[in-house]
C-alpha cells in the first residue's frame, strides 16, 4: 500500500467514524480542516458533516444527502458510511490526513524552491528569502499529541514565580525610558505584545520608535525594520541622539559649527547598544517573520521596531488592501507571541484627524483597517499641537501629547512628552503642560526632565 493510498484511506476512515459516532469529532485533532482532504468528495462531506454536528444536529447519510444532493450521490455517502474501521483510532486517522496535506504542501514548496533557485533575475539573497518563506508554516506545532490545554492549578503554580518576581521588583515589562509612559504601561513594553504607535506625518513616529529602541538596546537586543528611511538617514538620527548633536550639524558640517567630539562620543556610545537595522522595501509578513527569526537565532531579539505598517505588502497582491493590512497586523501579533518579543509597529492615521479641533487621533482613525486596533495589545497616539497651529508660542515648541488609547492589561490615559526637534528624539516632560493644553486627568504624575 502506497503512502498516498494510506492518506486516502485515512480520509475515508475519518468520515466513516464520524458517521458512526458524531461525538468522535471531539477526539479529532483541532487542526484538521476541509482543505487537508485531497479527495474532493471527502472534502465536501467533511465540511457539511462538521457544520451539522456544530449545530447540535445528528448527522447521518440521510441528513448529509439532504444538504449535498447536488454535489454528492447517495451511493458515495453509503460507501463512506460502510468504510468504518472503528472510532477508537480516529485521532490517528485525522493525523494521517493532516500529514498527507503537509506532504503535498512540501512537494509544492519544493517545486517553487527549485523554480526560485533557477531564477537568475533574482539575487541569491532574494532566492534564499523566498525559499524560507515557502517553507515557513508548513508544519504546525499544534499538530502533535500535546493538545495545549493547561490545567488551572498547574498554570497558577507556574504563575507564582511571576508574582514573586513582581514582589521583588523584577518586573516582566521592559522600561522605555519615558517615565510617565512606563508608569502607564505598568513598567513598559512586555514580551509577546504588539504595540501600535499612530500619528499623522511630521508628528515624530520614527523619532519615538528610535528613542524607545535606543534606550532599550542598553540591556536588550533591538531590531528595526525600516521601510521608509535609508540606512544613511537612520544613522544620522542615531548619531544625533547618542551624541546629542543637532541633525543640521550632521547634515551640513561645513556650514555649521560641528562638535566632532560629540560625534565620536556618539559612535563610542553605540558600542554598548545591541541594535540591528534592516532596510527593505514593501515586505510581506512572511518576509518579516523570516528576518525576525533569523535575527533571533543569530544575535537574539527582544524588541522589534517596524516602520511602518502601511508600507508592508500582502502575500497575495490581488487581495484588497484592507485584507493585506489585516494579514500584516495579525501576523505581527502572532510573531510577537511566537518569538516572545515586544513589537512596536508604527502606523499612519486618517486625514480626518486634521478636521477636528482636538487633533489627537482615536482608534477609529487607524488607517485602512479596523483589525489593527483589534490585534494590538497597546495603541499609542502622538500629536504635537505646534505642528498644526503655527500661532502657538515658544512654550509649545517641545510639547507633545501622547495618548494611551488602548491597553489590554491596564487603563487608558494621556501624558506629555518632551520633543527635542534638533536631535529628533523624545524625553520626559517636566512641570505642567503649556497654558490651555492640559491632558486628560489620569492617575500618573509627570516625572523626570526633558
CATH classification of the domain holding 109? 1.10.860.10
Strands 342-348 and 194-199: parallel
pLDDT at 346: 94
In a domain, 388, yes or no: yes
In a domain, 267, yes or no: yes
Last residue of a domain, one of 92, 125, 149: 149
pLDDT at 268: 80
In a shared domain, residues 309 and 368: yes
In a domain, 444, yes or no: no
Return the C-alpha cell found at 61: 447519510
C-alpha distances in Å from residue 39, one per residue of 7, 8, 36, 43:
10, 7, 9, 6
Number of domains composing the chain: 2
In a shared domain, residues 304 and 412: yes
In a shared domain, residues 108 and 257: no
Q: Determine the Cα–Cα distance for residues 377 and 436; give it in Å rounded to an integer.
A: 31
In a shared domain, residues 237 and 280: yes
CATH classification of the domain holding 357? 3.40.50.300
Q: Which domain holds residue 292?
A: 164-428
In a structure prediction context, what are the per-residue pLDDT tens digits for the chain, which is 450 residues long? Answer: 454 567 778 888 888 888 888 888 877 755 688 888 888 888 888 888 887 877 677 888 888 888 887 888 888 888 888 877 777 888 888 888 888 888 888 888 888 889 888 888 888 877 887 787 777 656 544 444 445 567 777 777 777 777 777 677 666 789 999 999 998 998 899 999 999 999 888 888 898 999 999 899 999 999 999 888 877 788 888 888 787 777 777 777 765 677 777 777 778 888 888 989 888 888 888 788 888 888 888 899 999 999 888 888 887 777 888 888 888 888 899 899 989 999 999 998 888 777 777 778 888 888 666 688 888 899 999 988 888 777 777 778 888 889 999 998 888 899 999 988 778 888 898 888 787 554 444 443 433 333
Q: How buried is 431 (Cβ within 10 angstroms: 0-12 exposed, 13-18 middle, 19+ buried)?
A: exposed
In a shared domain, residues 136 and 227: no
pLDDT at 377: 92
In a shared domain, residues 122 and 245: no
Last residue of a domain, one of 149, 179, 194: 149
Last residue of a domain, one of 149, 177, 208: 149
In a domain, 328, yes or no: yes
In a shared domain, residues 400 and 312: yes
In a shared domain, residues 113 and 181: no
pLDDT at 5: 63
pLDDT at 444: 39
In a shared domain, residues 12 and 80: yes
In a shared domain, residues 273 and 324: yes
In a shared domain, residues 131 and 272: no
pLDDT at 138: 65
In a domain, 156, yes or no: no
In a domain, 58, yes or no: yes
Q: Determine the Cα–Cα distance for residues 414 and 375; give it in Å rounded to an integer.
A: 21
In a domain, 228, yes or no: yes
In a domain, 449, yes or no: no
In a shared domain, residues 26 and 61: yes
Nearest of 420, 379, 381, 424 to residue 399 by alpha carbon = 420
Nearest of 417, 434, 432, 425 to residue 381 by alpha carbon = 417
Cis before 289? omega within 30: no
Amino acid at each position: 500500500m502506497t503512502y498516498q493510498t494510506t492518506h486516502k484511506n485515512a480520509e475515508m476512515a475519518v468520515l466513516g467514524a464520524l458517521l458512526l459516532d458524531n461525538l468522535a469529532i471531539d477526539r479529532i485533532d483541532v487542526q484538521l480542516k476541509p482543505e487537508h482532504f485531497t479527495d474532493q468528495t471527502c472534502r465536501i462531506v467533511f465540511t457539511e458533516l462538521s457544520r451539522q454536528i456544530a449545530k447540535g444536529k445528528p448527522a447521518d447519510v440521510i441528513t448529509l444527502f439532504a444538504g449535498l444532493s447536488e454535489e454528492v450521490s447517495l451511493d458515495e455517502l453509503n460507501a463512506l458510511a460502510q468504510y468504518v474501521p472503528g472510532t477508537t483510532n480516529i485521532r490517528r486517522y485525522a493525523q494521517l490526513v493532516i500529514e498527507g496535506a503537509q506532504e503535498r504542501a512540501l512537494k509544492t514548496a519544493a517545486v517553487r524552491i527549485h523554480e526560485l533557485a533557477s531564477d537568475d533575475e533574482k539575487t541569491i539573497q532574494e532566492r534564499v528569502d523566498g525559499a524560507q518563506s515557502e517553507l515557513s508554516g508548513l508544519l504546525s506545532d499544534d499538530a502533535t499529541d500535546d493538545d495545549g490545554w493547561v490545567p488551572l492549578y498547574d498554570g497558577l503554580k507556574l504563575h507564582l514565580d511571576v508574582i514573586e518576581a513582581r514582589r521583588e521588583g523584577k518586573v516582566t515589562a521592559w522600561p522605555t525610558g519615558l517615565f510617565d509612559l512606563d508608569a502607564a504601561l505598568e513598567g513598559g513594553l512586555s514580551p509577546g505584545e504588539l504595540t501600535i504607535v499612530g500619528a499623522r506625518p511630521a508628528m515624530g513616529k520614527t523619532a519615538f520608535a528610535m528613542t524607545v529602541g535606543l534606550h532599550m538596546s542598553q540591556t536588550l537586543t533591538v531590531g528595526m525594520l525600516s521601510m521608509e528611511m535609508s540606512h544613511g538617514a537612520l544613522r544620522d538620527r542615531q548619531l544625533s541622539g547618542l551624541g546629542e548633536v543637532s541633525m543640521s550639524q550632521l547634515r551640513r558640517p561645513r556650514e555649521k559649527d560641528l562638535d566632532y567630539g560629540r560625534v565620536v562620543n556618539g559612535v563610542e556610545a553605540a558600542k554598548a547598544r545591541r541594535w540591528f537595522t534592516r532596510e527593505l522595501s514593501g515586505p510581506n509578513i512572511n518576509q518579516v517573520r523570516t528576518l525576525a527569526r533569523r535575527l533571533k537565532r543569530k544575535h537574539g531579539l527582544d524588541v522589534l521596531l517596524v516602520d511602518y505598517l502601511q508600507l508592508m505588502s500582502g502575500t497575495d497582491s490581488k487581495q484588497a488592501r484592507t485584507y493585506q493590512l489585516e494579514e500584516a497586523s495579525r501576523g505581527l501579533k502572532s510573531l510577537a507571541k511566537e518569538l516572545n518579543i515586544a513589537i512596536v509597529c508604527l502606523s499612519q492615521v486618517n486625514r480626518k484627524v486634521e478636521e477636528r479641533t482636538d487633533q489627537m487621533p482615536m482608534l477609529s482613525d487607524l488607517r485602512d483597517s479596523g483589525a489593527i486596533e483589534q490585534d494590538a495589545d497597546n495603541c499609542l497616539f502622538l500629536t504635537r499641537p505646534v505642528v498644526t497651529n503655527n500661532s502657538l508660542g515658544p512654550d509649545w515648541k517641545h510639547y507633545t501629547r501622547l495618548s494611551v488609547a488602548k491597553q489590554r492589561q491596564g487603563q487608558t490615559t494621556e501624558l506629555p512628552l518632551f520633543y527635542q526637534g534638533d536631535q529628533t528624539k523624545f524625553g520626559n516632560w517636566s512641570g505642567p503642560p503649556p497654558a490651555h493644553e492640559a491632558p486628560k486627568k489620569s492617575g500618573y504624575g509627570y516625572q523626570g526632565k526633558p
